[in-house]
Chains A and B, each alone.
Chain A
Amino acid sequence: MRRWYRPFPGDTVRDVDGRSREFVCTETGAQQLDQLRSELAESFTVSLGARPARATRTWLDTFDWRLYKAGLTLQQVNAHSDSQLILNGPDAEQLTTPINRTTRLRWPAMAAALPAGPLRDRLAPVIGNRALLPVVRAASQTSDLRLLNEDAKTVARVSVDSLSVTAPADRGQGPLPARLTVHEVRGYATAARRARRLLAGTDGVSSSRLTALDTALAATGRHPLDYTGKVDVKLRPAMPGREAVALLLLQQLDTLEANVDGVLHDVDTEYLHDLRIAVRRTRSALKVVGDVLPGDLTLRFASEFRWLGDITTPLRDLDVQLEELPSMAAGLVAARPADLEPFRLYLTRRRAAARRALNRGLRSDRFATVLGDWRKALTVPRAGRRPSGPRTGELAADRTRRAYNKVIKLGAAITDESPAESLHTLRKRCKELRYVLEFFASLHDPVAQRAMVGDLKRLQDCLGEFQDCEVQQLEIQALAASMLARQAAPAPTLLAMGEIAGQLGRRQQQARTEFAGRFAGFAGSAGRRRLTALTASPRPASPEPASLRAASPEPASPEPASPRPAAPRAARSRTTAARP
């Protein structure tokens, strides 16, 4: 049976149009409520609804804000002994599900832990393999004013929601300005419009475009989308290359650190994935543009980040095996999915051991020292020294060309007889090119950048499929041997594992067949034109955000009156690029 709930004020996500339905009281207290009532009494009989409803509201989202990005708002509302999840979406979409005591829902929770039903079905594809976490919690007290016409019929409602942020405990807490929402009663639109006009003209009341979640988050000093695993640094062509590289590396360090807790507590597997990407980007940056950093920084830290990458690999490989197992099992022809259960249990045990090993690494002095020293090295200003080396625009053009040319050279040398190792090496160079493109994306024309990344991504997908299948086949062989040695491998399980290895082999062969076409698509004349467009015309400088200025490792140099033109270098690059 479907339950009918009136939405809480401000829960409808970003549906506030020009005629705002949402208001905030800039002043608080009973006096303000009396004033509201007297303003509304000009056109209506105002009746105070049932006694105020008290509830605790906990907003939930994934670490990377997948719900917010999809225009969805999820909250757990506890009132008296009842608890329910309420999902609001665009176009007044609302789904609810009660949480009873037997559900035993604890946050963080994956989609599979939610009560079965339409709400879970709606959420699951959006959050994928990420866990839902409490974002902010508030105590809420909602009063209802009913606006009546001359027949004493309710023709509009005004709800007054007083929120007080209670968690996270270490952030700013306390009462927020009361939120007023005009609820239209069906068939009485004119009355709701009149109520909105009256509220808009009331002293101490102003219209609001923020949702209750936005307001509560702001009180804790956070804002939606405050985490992204992507490269998110705005660069200017004329800034010193050293400064730009330090900014890029600092953002990767931030990303890495932001994911450590999630890995340690095994909240979901994406924390480790994002952490590893931050490590790989850092290693690629050290390799490709690290030479512009002062002293022996690159030499000192390259081996440390390699160590960090290495200690995360076993757990990630097992995560991938476990995540892919259901789809692999579904594709079995001769064996039954149930035959793989001992394999899954074995993987799960291995994963627990790998997690313990990784946690030891992440809690070690070495890890703390690497991260601490790295941040210090990137942020300590070098007083009195003007940064030397290329400007960012030049650096970007030069290193993008170099990375591109390496890919072209290696790719062109690959034939049908080339060993798997050649494709693996090409894949690594492709990743470097991808990271270089991401690092300097803010300097590039977005259309050319998207086109270049699109072509590269298609090639990377093919190489990734080839290499992943190779690695997984080898792992399955090794795991089978290990399971046999421990007498943990019944014959049907080994046969099923063999069938999976066979599936992987066929997929790998398919990727190998597709490689030539994908590479040609990337390396063709269109690809070279795109490279030229990217490296020839860095976008005009945009004002530097204050946050970046604050994080700059070295005082920014004064802007030259006329930045050095990059065109001649780009013209040279055309010939270089055309000669893979």
Chain B
Amino acid sequence: MKVFATYNIKGGVGKTTAAVNLAYLAAQDGQRTLLWDLDPQAAATYMFRVRPRVKGGGKALIKGTRSLDDAIKGTDFDGLDLLPGDFTYRNMDLLLDDAKNPVRRLSRLLQPLARDYDVVFLDCPPSVSLVSENVLHAADLILVPLIPATLSVRTLDQLTEFVASFDGPRPDVLAFFSMGDRRKRLHREIAEQLPAQRPDLATTAIPALAVIERMAVERAPVPAFAPRSPATRAYRDLWTEIQKLSPA
């Protein structure tokens, strides 16, 4: 089972849309896929029309009184399941802090799912917290959406350094430009210059497109309602690149 996490310290950079679309494409490829919406805002959950509620809340899951298996919901798409977001996840840091091995608790909780899933996506809330540290430890590959701006690059450096400091297995990191706007000069410059300097940057960029924003209206992944759109092509290219880096 491969675990992919979409992570960025900043919000509104395209983490959730990437997680939703990539999970959909993984399932389309025939991989048994689970998306865990760890964000208390539960945007991914909303996009799959699932109610943002887990019986017993985050506490039951983290403490293990309710198995992840029990809380999973089938989506409308073959091979793609969802572990919904829940507003109580806002307290997940505190719950994890009480756990025995606080930074590896999520990793341990995911282990039994290896029987049922080939791929798990973790959609992480924007923060530096015990939750994100757990996610970084649980993942095989961290997907970092970057808005082509100077500060974004700095954030990526910080993340890479942090991951490099881990004892034991370390996840790979793959950043990709997200919400890039060709009309903005700075976006263009960074998008042209940075790939040459950063080997951990994907060649595929996800442009800022209205069709991606429509996901919240359609409440579905882009490839499901706009299969021929440039956004679908971009996510498909990104998924191909991810698979080359981290084959199933």
Residues on A lying within 8 angstroms of B by beta carbon are 1-6, 146, 151-154, 185-188
**Does chain A have a CB within 8 A of B29?**
yes
| Cβ–Cβ contact B30 & A153, under 8 A | no
**Does chain A have a CB within 8 A of B151?**
no
Nearest first, the 6 closest Cβ-Cβ pairs linking A and B are: A187-B73, A186-B74, A4-B79, A3-B30, A153-B49, A185-B74
Contacts of B48 in A (CB 8 A): 153
Partner among A4, A5, A151 whose Cβ is within 8 Å of the Cβ of B49: A151
How far in angstroms is the closest Cβ of chain A from B43? Answer: 15
Known contacts A1-B248, A2-B30, A4-B32; 16 further A-B pairs (Cβ under 8 A): A1-B30, A2-B31, A2-B32, A2-B118, A4-B31, A4-B78, A5-B78, A146-B76, A152-B49, A153-B50, A153-B76, A186-B72, A186-B81, A187-B72, A188-B73, A188-B74
| Cβ–Cβ contact B27 & A4, under 8 A | yes
A146-B248 Cα distance, complex, nearest whole Å: 31
Residues on B lying within 8 angstroms of A by beta carbon are 27, 29-32, 48-51, 71-74, 76, 78-79, 81, 118, 219, 248
Count A/B pairs, Cβ under 8 Å. Answer: 40
A152-B47 Cα distance, complex, nearest whole Å: 11
A78-B39 Cα distance, complex, nearest whole Å: 43
A4-B72 Cα distance, complex, nearest whole Å: 18
Contacts of B51 in A (CB 8 A): 151
Contacts of B32 in A (CB 8 A): 2, 4
A-B contacts, 5 listed (Cβ < 8 Å): A1-B31, A4-B78, A6-B78, A153-B49, A187-B72
Contacts of A152 in B (CB 8 A): 49, 219
Partner among A3, A4, A151, A187 whose Cβ is within 8 Å of the Cβ of B74: A187
A188-B75 Cα distance, complex, nearest whole Å: 10
| Residue on B nearest A151 in the bound complex, by CB | B49
Contacts of A2 in B (CB 8 A): 30-32, 118
Contacts of B71 in A (CB 8 A): 187
Contacts of A146 in B (CB 8 A): 76
Contacts of A188 in B (CB 8 A): 73-74
A386-B173 Cα distance, complex, nearest whole Å: 93
A259-B160 Cα distance, complex, nearest whole Å: 70
Contacts of B31 in A (CB 8 A): 1-2, 4
A3-B118 Cα distance, complex, nearest whole Å: 11
A151-B46 Cα distance, complex, nearest whole Å: 10
Contacts of B50 in A (CB 8 A): 151, 153
Contacts of A185 in B (CB 8 A): 73-74
How far in angstroms is the closest Cβ of chain B from A119? Answer: 15
| Cβ–Cβ contact A186 & B73, under 8 A | yes
Contacts of A3 in B (CB 8 A): 30
**Which of B27, B72, B79 is most buried by chain A, counting CB atoms within 10 A of its CB?**
B79
A444-B76 Cα distance, complex, nearest whole Å: 58
Partner among B30, B73, B76, B248 whose Cβ is within 8 Å of the Cβ of A4: B30
Contacts of B78 in A (CB 8 A): 4-6
Partner among A1, A151, A154, A187 whose Cβ is within 8 Å of the Cβ of B29: A1
Contacts of B29 in A (CB 8 A): 1
How far in angstroms is the closest Cβ of chain A from B79? Answer: 4
| Residue on A nearest B29 in the bound complex, by CB | A1
Contact (A154, B76) CB under 8 Å given A1-B31, A4-B30, A186-B81: yes
A154-B82 Cα distance, complex, nearest whole Å: 13
Contacts of B79 in A (CB 8 A): 4
Contacts of A154 in B (CB 8 A): 76
How far in angstroms is the closest Cβ of chain A from B28? Answer: 9
How far in angstroms is the closest Cβ of chain A from B15? Answer: 23
Contacts of B248 in A (CB 8 A): 1
A4-B81 Cα distance, complex, nearest whole Å: 13
A442-B24 Cα distance, complex, nearest whole Å: 59
How far in angstroms is the closest Cβ of chain A from B179? Answer: 28
Contacts of B76 in A (CB 8 A): 146, 153-154
How far in angstroms is the closest Cβ of chain B from A43? Answer: 17
How far in angstroms is the closest Cβ of chain B from A277? Answer: 44
A186-B77 Cα distance, complex, nearest whole Å: 11
**Which of B29, B31, B49, B81 is most buried by chain A, counting CB atoms within 10 A of its CB?**
B49
How far in angstroms is the closest Cβ of chain B from A184? Answer: 8
Contacts of B73 in A (CB 8 A): 185-188
| Residue on B nearest A156 in the bound complex, by CB | B74
A6-B32 Cα distance, complex, nearest whole Å: 12
How far in angstroms is the closest Cβ of chain A from B82? Answer: 9
A186-B32 Cα distance, complex, nearest whole Å: 13
A188-B51 Cα distance, complex, nearest whole Å: 12
| Residue on A nearest B243 in the bound complex, by CB | A1
A237-B32 Cα distance, complex, nearest whole Å: 60
How far in angstroms is the closest Cβ of chain B from A51? Answer: 16
How far in angstroms is the closest Cβ of chain B from A442? Answer: 46
How far in angstroms is the closest Cβ of chain B from A154? Answer: 4
How far in angstroms is the closest Cβ of chain B from A115? Answer: 16
| Residue on A nearest B69 in the bound complex, by CB | A186
A340-B29 Cα distance, complex, nearest whole Å: 46
A334-B90 Cα distance, complex, nearest whole Å: 72
